[in-house]
Amino acid sequence: MASGDMTSSKENAIFPPGEAVHKAAYVSSMEQYHKMYKESVTDPEAFWMKIAKDFYFKEQHSGKFFDYNFNINKGPIYVKCMENASTNICYNCLDRHVKNGQGDVTAFYWEGNDPMDCTNITYKKLLDEVCKFSNVLKSLGVKKGDRVAIYMPMIIELVIAMLACARIGAIHSIVFAGFSAESLSSRILDAECDILLTADGVYRGSKLIHLKQIADEAINLCKDKHKVSTCITVRHLTDNSFSDDVSDRPGKRPCSKVQVPWNSGVDKWWHILMEGASTECEPEWLKSEEPLFILYTSGSTGKPKGILHHVTGYMLYAATTHKYTFDYHAGDIYFCTADIGWITGHTYITYGPLLNGATSVLFEGIPLFPDPSRYWSIVDKYQVSKFYTAPTAVRSLMKFGDDPVKKYKRSSLQVLGTVGEPINPEAWMWYHKVIGNSNCTIVDTFWQTETGGHVLTPLPGCTPTKPGSATFPFFGIVPAVLSENGEEVEGPGDGYLVFKQPWPGMMRTIYGDQKRFEGTYFKRFPGYYVPGDGCYRDDDGYYWITGRIDDMINVSGHLLSTAEVESVLIEHPSVAEAAVVGKPHSIKGEALYCFVTLVDGIEFTPELVKELKERVRHSIGPFCTPDYVQYAPGLPKTRSGKIMRRVLRNVARGNHDIGDVSTMADQSVVDVLFTNRPEQD
C-alpha cells in the first residue's frame, strides 16, 4: 500500500470551488455540508425521508428507514431500506415529469459517432417509446423477476430497453458492447437470461463492430446449458425505429452497410415488434427491496460477480448523488461520456439524470474521432455545463496538447467530474486549467459498481479540492481507515478504506451467491463494508485513494482480475503457467503485463506472443489486450507456492529494488526475469 509520503507533497495545492457553480449551489459552504452530513449519518431516516418526498410511492413507507446487519459474526449480511413501500423507478424517471408538465423537456440529445448524426428525444416521447417496448416485452412473456440481457451500443433504444425492463419489473443485465462473445455468454448463463437485446452493429470511430454476430456467437456458446429464446435486434445502422423522418438524422448512413445473420426461430427486429405497440403500460409496482438490475464486475477469483441492486435505495441514491455532486439544476446540460454498459452509465446517464428531470447528451462515439477535439465540439454545440469523464480519457487527450481544446470556447462548463481510477495530479491540473479555463470545480468521484453511486466526492459549490483527492464522504457515508489488524486509524494515516454503516444505494447481494457477497465484502473486517481499495487520510481529513488492495488491475478505468486474464492464457496448449500484473501506463493508468511459462520443448516466438494477446482480446474484450507478454522460465513463488506478484510488478517496472524476498522459494528466477524483459515503451 502506498504510504502517506507519496501524497504529502500534493497536499499543498488547494483549489476553491468555481465561481459560477458556487453562486447558485444547493450547498455553497462547508458549514452547510457539515450540517447536512451530520444529519445524514446520525439520523438517516430524517435525512432520506425528506428526499423520498419528491418521489412517487404507490404504497407509503412506515417503520424503520434502514434495517441491516453488517456483522458477519451476528448472522447473514443484509440491508433493507424503506422495506414496505412500493414504487417504480421508470415511473419516477418519466411519468412523474410528464405529469408535472415537463413532457416537452429534452431528456437526451443523442450525438452519433458520426458528427453529422444526431437527434433528440423529449420526456414525453421517451415515455411513449418505453411503454411500447414494455408491451413488446410483455407480449413475449417477460414478467416481473425475469432477467433480460442487453448488449447494445450507446443509442436511445438502450435507454428505452432498460427503462422498459424496470417498468415491468424485469431485471436488466447490461453487458458492455465491447465484451467478447465468451464474456457475454458467461453473463447470460449466470443470470439465466431468456431474452437478449442487441443491435445490428455500431461504428466506434471508423471501426465497424458486428454486434449481432457477436450476440449470435454468445447464444451459440451457451446453448447446451441454457437456451436464449428470443434475440431482439435494433436496426441501428440501417434505419431508425423511433422516427420515420430521416431529416432528424442528417448524417444517416445508407442502408445495408451490415449483413445481419438471422435465425428465424429466435430473431426478431425491434422496429417490427414496436409497430402498433400501445403507448399505455401500467407500471409494475415493486416493493422497495425487489431487484432492479444485475451488473457484472470483475472478481478477484476470475469469475465475474453479478452485483444486484434493488429498486428504492438505488433510486434515492442515484438521484441524490447526481443532484448534489454535479449541483444539477433545471436548465443545465449534462454530459457523461461513460458507456451505459458500466455502472457510471447506469447511474449517471440513465437513472440519476432522468430521476432529476435533467437534459443530457448521450454520446455514441469516442473522444478521438474524428479528431481529439470531439468532446469540446459537443460541449459547445449543446452548451454543456456539467461534464463527467474518466482520467484515462483526460490523459489520452492531454497527449495532443492544448490546441484541440482551444479550438472551442467551453465557456458553458461549470463542473468537471472524473471517475474510474485515481487521477494523477498532472492530469487533474490539465483538466482544471486547460479544459476548465480554471473556472470550474473538479469533482473526483470515488465509488464502485457495488456502491451504486458516489461515496467519496467533493460537492462543487463548496468543497475546496486537492488534485488527486476524492476529498470527503457523500451524505450518509461513514468511512474509516483500518490498519492491517483491523483497528481504526484516528486522524491522518493510511490503511484499508471501509464503510461503517449502510447507505441506500449499496448493493444487496451477488446474484445467486450470497456467500461470495459476504466473503468478498464483509469477512476481512467484521462489522465493516470493505470496498477493496487502500486509502490515505491527510491532516485536513481529505481521503486519497491509493489503489486496489487485491489482485485487480485497472486498465483505462476498467477493473480486471489477474485471475481472469491468467486463466485465458493458461488455456493455450503451449502455456504451462501464467501470472499477470499491472504496469503503470501514461494513458491507460495500468497496462496488462503477462508472464508465461511454456510447456517443455515449446519455443517462445513473436507469433506466440501475438497469439496470446489475441486470445485475451478475443475472450475478454478488446479493451484489455495485453501490452506485454514476457517469457518466464520460472515464476517467483513463496515456499507455499503462491506467486509473488509484488516481485513481478517490480520486474515489469524494471525496478531492481524488490524488497524482502526471504519467503521466496528460488530467488534465482528473478535475475532471469530481469534479463528477459521485452522491449518497453
Q: Which is nearer to ligand 6R9, 268 or 516 (CB)?
A: 516
Q: 307-329: b or e for each residue (b if 16 or more CB lie within 10 Å)?
A: bbbbbbbbbbbbbbbbbbbbbbe
Q: Which is nearer to ligand 6R9, 88 or 449 (CB)?
A: 449
> Cβ(670)–Cβ(647) under 8 Å?
yes
Q: Which is nearer to ligand 6R9, 83 or 533 (CB)?
A: 533
Smallest distance from ligand 6R9 to CB 585, Å = 15
Smallest distance from ligand 6R9 to CB 212, Å = 26
Smallest distance from ligand 6R9 to CB 374, Å = 22
Q: What is the DSSP string of 273-331?
A: HHTT--S--PPPPEETTSEEEEEEE--TTSSPEEEEEEHHHHHHHHHHHHHHHTT--TT
Detail the DSSP E strand segments found in 65-144.
Answer: 66-69, 78-81, 86-87, 106-111, 118-122
Smallest distance from ligand 6R9 to CB 398, Å = 17
Smallest distance from ligand 6R9 to CB 352, Å = 12
Q: Which is nearer to ligand 6R9, 481 or 575 (CB)?
A: 481
Q: Which is nearer to ligand 6R9, 367 or 505 (CB)?
A: 505
Detail the DSSP E strand segments found in 502-588.
Answer: 509-510, 533-537, 543-548, 552-555, 558-561, 575-585
Q: Which is nearer to ligand 6R9, 347 or 597 (CB)?
A: 347
Grid cell digits, residue 184: 457475454
Grid cell digits, residue 199: 443491435
Q: Which is nearer to ligand 6R9, 343 or 397 (CB)?
A: 343
Smallest distance from ligand 6R9 to CB 456, Å = 7
- Per-state percent for the chain, helix, strand, coil, to nearest 5: 35, 25, 45
User: From its phi and psi, is residue 659 left (phi > 0), alpha (psi between -120 and 50) or beta?
Assistant: left
Q: Which amino acid is at 294?
A: I
The site for ligand 6R9 (CB under 6 A) is made up of 297, 342-344, 419-422, 444-449, 470, 531-533, 545, 548, 554, 559
Q: Which is nearer to ligand 6R9, 458 or 461 (CB)?
A: 458
Q: 492-522: b or e for each residue (b if 16 or more CB lie within 10 Å)?
A: bebbbbbbebbbbbbbbbbbebeebbbebbb
Nearest to 296 by CA among 153, 165, 170, 175: 175
Q: Distance between CA atoms of 147 and 519, rounded to whole angstroms?
A: 25
219 Cβ neighbours under 8 A, 6+ residues apart: 185, 188, 196, 228, 231, 266
Q: Which residue's CB atom is positioned nearest to ligand 6R9?
A: 449
Q: Which is nearer to ligand 6R9, 137 or 338 (CB)?
A: 338
Grid cell digits, residue 22: 458556487
Smallest distance from ligand 6R9 to CB 535, Å = 9
Q: Which is nearer to ligand 6R9, 372 or 531 (CB)?
A: 531
Q: Tell me the pairing of strands 558-561 and 575-585.
A: unpaired
Q: Which is nearer to ligand 6R9, 446 or 595 (CB)?
A: 446
Smallest distance from ligand 6R9 to CB 474, Å = 12
Smallest distance from ligand 6R9 to CB 470, Å = 5
Eight-class DSSP state of 637 = B
Smallest distance from ligand 6R9 to CB 79, Å = 18
Nearest to 505 by CA among 661, 288, 671: 288
Smallest distance from ligand 6R9 to CB 297, Å = 5
Smallest distance from ligand 6R9 to CB 215, Å = 23
Smallest distance from ligand 6R9 to CB 487, Å = 22
Q: Distance between CA atoms of 61 and 408, rounded to whole angstroms?
A: 49
Eight-class DSSP state of 389 = E
Q: Which is nearer to ligand 6R9, 327 or 444 (CB)?
A: 444
Q: 433-442: b or e for each residue (b if 16 or more CB lie within 10 Å)?
A: ebbbeebbbb
Q: Distance between CA atoms of 556 and 587, rounded to whole angstroms?
A: 7
Q: Tell me the pairing of strands 589-598 and 575-585.
A: antiparallel
Q: Which is nearer to ligand 6R9, 260 or 507 (CB)?
A: 507
Q: Which is nearer to ligand 6R9, 286 or 318 (CB)?
A: 318
Smallest distance from ligand 6R9 to CB 296, Å = 10
Cis peptide leading into 370, omega within 30 of 0? Answer: yes
> Cβ(127)–Cβ(160) under 8 Å?
no
